[in-house]
Amino acid sequence: GESVGLHLPTLSVQEGDNSIINCAYSNSASDYFIWYKQESGKGPQFIIDIRSNMDKRQGQRVTVLLNKTVKHLSLQIAATQPGDSAVYFCAENIRGYSTLTFGKGTMLLVSP
């Protein structure tokens, strides 16, 4: 089975709300994680990454949290905007493999 999965296939929020997208992974050897955003008809766009020696990393309006104890990753988007509507994928790098394995994806729908 897949090593990386998401709890919610679709997340609907109102503009201005904070969004939280979750991702579970099962391989304890995963040591690098990336969140990608993919808009319709486009390739995945890098949002933020985190290494396993960290538990939190912040970017512009986004925060990634990593809980290695329960093998859980989340992406928080502050003040969600309609332009944030897209499918969000988490991806993991398993130590020693050097390639990314993508999770199933969550569609974020932002209503004005």
- Which residues of the chain form contacts with another protein (CB under 8 A)? 31-32, 34, 36, 41-46, 49, 51, 89, 93, 98-100, 102-105
| SS3 state at 80 | coil
Task: Show the CA angle centred on residue 5, arms to residues 27 and 60, nearest 5°.
Answer: 100
| SS3 state at 9 | coil
In this structure, what token pair is assigned to residue 43?
Answer: 């390739």
**Residue closer to another protein (CB basis): 44 or 110:** 44
Smallest gap from Cβ 33 to another protein, in A, equals 10
**Residue closer to another protein (CB basis): 15 or 49:** 49
Smallest gap from Cβ 44 to another protein, in A, equals 5
Terminal alpha carbon distance of the chain: 37
**Residue closer to another protein (CB basis): 80 or 93:** 93
In this structure, what token pair is assigned to residue 3?
Answer: 């090593």
Neighbouring C-beta atoms of residue 82, cutoff 10 Å: 10
Smallest gap from Cβ 90 to another protein, in A, equals 9
**Residue closer to another protein (CB basis): 43 or 112:** 43
